[in-house]
Amino acid sequence: MNPSPAIALLVALALAASGLARGQDRVASYDPASEQTVLAVAKVQPAVVNIATERLVKQSVDDPFDSFLNEFFGQPSMGGRQVQRRQQSLGSGFVVDPEGFIITNEHVVGRAADLKISISFPDGSTFEAKYVAGDRQTDLALLKIEKKDGRPFPFIDLKKLSPNLLGQTVLALGNPLGYNSSVSRGILSARDREITVEDVRYKKLLQTDAAINPGNSGGPLIDLAGQLCGVNSVRLAFTPDRNPVQGIGFAISGQVVAEKFAVFRDQVNRAPQLGAKGPFGSGGLKNDAPNAPLARKLFGVEFQALTPALASVLGISSEAGVLISDVDLGSPARTAGLKRGLIVYKIGRYEVTDPVAIDRLLKDVRPGTEVDFVVGVAGRRGGSPFGTAAPSQLATVTLVARPAQ
């Protein structure tokens, strides 16, 4: 026998009320603090730092009065004046050791010599950092800060890495555009990507659609367990034909980070002069690959070609010469006072313009051989790199070759 319409209505209303009550109970018992995303961020965020770098940049500017004389009276130009301006950049990093070692991108901290590096934590504490080591091929760098109160630093454990499964939820932490302690969410879109930036090809990258913006570079990409997936590095903004792109960012995989950190630490352990003055005002090391250039092996110095764009940025009137891009700690070059940012115009009696050709020039140099390097300062074709003598003189520095490393 079918129930009467009145009874059926009462039953339906009772069931609806019961369901509504259960829903209200669920809402009342919901605690945002228990979300996996919130827990993962709370676990990792204390170890994520903001990195501020500062350097003095020399630029050539035209004197308006000089231009007026040239235009109306035909007087020759006296040339632009050299001015200095303070340039700052912001990036991210994270502590990977309770003693204060910090991983970040090489491109965040490795752009100039005599760089001041400031570290700030989410709790507002600040530290001056030492540049310890860097590797341009993987775009990773290691910094070091010292304890103030003896307590260990919060850190992300590189021994507990994410499995990096396609489609898993990932969180990008960092300081995009200077907005401290920001978090964005996405998924792991792909693994083992390769991209080329300028002349460097980066391999084994992770691809994600989590928002990665300027300032995120060097920050961690984590999973919902708070384990490291990788290091935020770069986002794709445009296609080769300049069409805008969204949702494609890249990170250096956690496995690469862990392997490179082990290499950096080994270099630190083998270098007792870590605290000595380095390329950024503190100890500095670089990864010496087996196929390092001869100049690196013999003298501890590495060069970079002066492209027209780079020469313009540095304010160099001529593209002759090569830029010193790195100097090893404890090397003959470091001992002689060479540092990043100087220009080498000659090796021996030969003018140099190509870092690759330098290997051919040095192929017959043996340990103990003395080699003269003619050096000047970027932005002043005849400047003395050591601030001595007349600015019209180049400095000749004699280096003694060491056994090839």
Q: What is the pLDDT of residues 340-399, one digit of tens each?
A: 888 898 998 888 888 888 888 888 888 888 899 999 876 544 444 444 433 345 788 999
Predicted pLDDT of residue 136: 81
Has residue 180 got a pLDDT over 50?
A: yes
Weakest-pLDDT range from 263-272, 275-284, 319-328, 343-352: 275-284
Place 108 in a pLDDT band, splitting at 50, 70 and 90: confident
Q: By the 8 A CB rule, do 141 and 110 touch?
A: yes
Has residue 206 got a pLDDT over 90?
A: yes
The 3-state secondary structure of the chain reads CCCCHHHHHHHHHHHHHHHHHHHHHHHHHCCHHHCHHHHHHHHHHHHEEEEEEEEEEEEEECCHHHHHHHHHHCCCCCCCEEEEEEEEEEEEEEECCCCCEEEECHHHHCCCCCCEEEEECCCCCEEECEEEEEECCCCEEEEECCCCCCCCCCCCCCCCECCCCCCCEEEEEECHHHCCCEEEEEEEEEEEEEEEECCEEEEEEEEECCCCCCCCCCCEEECCCCCEEEEEEEECCECCCCCECCCCEEEEEHHHHHHHHHHHHHHHHCCCCCCCCCCCCCCCEECCCCCCCHHHHHHCEEEEECCHHHHHHHCCCCCCCEEEEEECCCCHHHHCCCCCCEEEEEECCEECCCHHHHHHHCCCCCCCCEEEEEEEECCECCCCCCCCCCCCCCEEEEEECCCCC
Tell me the average pLDDT across 100-119.
79
Has residue 404 got a pLDDT over 50?
A: yes
pLDDT tens-place string over residues 192-203: 999 887 667 888
Predicted pLDDT of residue 41: 97
Tell me the average pLDDT across 173-189.
92
Predicted pLDDT of residue 17: 65
Rounded mean pLDDT of the chain?
78
Predicted pLDDT of residue 376: 85
Domains along the sequence of the chain with CATH: 169-255 (2.40.10.10), 290-400 (2.30.42.10)
Phi, psi of 20 (to 5 degrees): -65, -40
d(CA 185, CA 385): 48
Predicted pLDDT of residue 193: 93
Query: Can you read off the two tokens belonging to residue 403?
Result: 């056994």
Predicted pLDDT of residue 395: 86
d(CA 180, CA 107): 19
Catalytic residue among 89, 97, 107, 184: 107
pLDDT tens-place string over residues 308-317: 766 766 666 5
Catalytic residue among 97, 135, 139, 326: 139
Predicted pLDDT of residue 85: 52
Has residue 287 got a pLDDT over 50?
A: no
Q: Which residue has better confidence, 209 or 68? A: 209
Counting residues of the chain whose pLDDT is more than 90, the rounded percentage is 34
Tell me the average pLDDT across 117-139.
89
Has residue 279 got a pLDDT over 60?
A: no
Predicted pLDDT of residue 378: 63
Place 2 in a pLDDT band, splitting at 50, 70 and 90: low
Tell me the average pLDDT across 54-63.
52
Has residue 189 got a pLDDT over 50?
A: yes
Active site residue 217: yes
pLDDT tens-place string over residues 213-272: 888 999 999 999 999 999 999 877 666 667 777 889 999 999 999 999 988 887 776 554
d(CA 353, CA 343): 10
Q: By the 8 A CB rule, do 328 and 285 touch?
A: yes
Q: By the 8 A CB rule, do 199 and 84 touch?
A: no
Has residue 152 got a pLDDT over 80?
A: yes
Catalytic residue among 89, 162, 182, 217: 217
d(CA 17, CA 3): 20
Site of tokens 């509504």? 20
Phi, psi of 298 (to 5 degrees): -85, -40
Q: By the 8 A CB rule, do 132 and 101 touch?
A: yes
Predicted pLDDT of residue 379: 54
Q: What is the CA radius of gyration of the chain?
A: 28
Predicted pLDDT of residue 283: 42
Q: Which residue has better confidence, 66 or 42? A: 42
d(CA 245, CA 276): 45
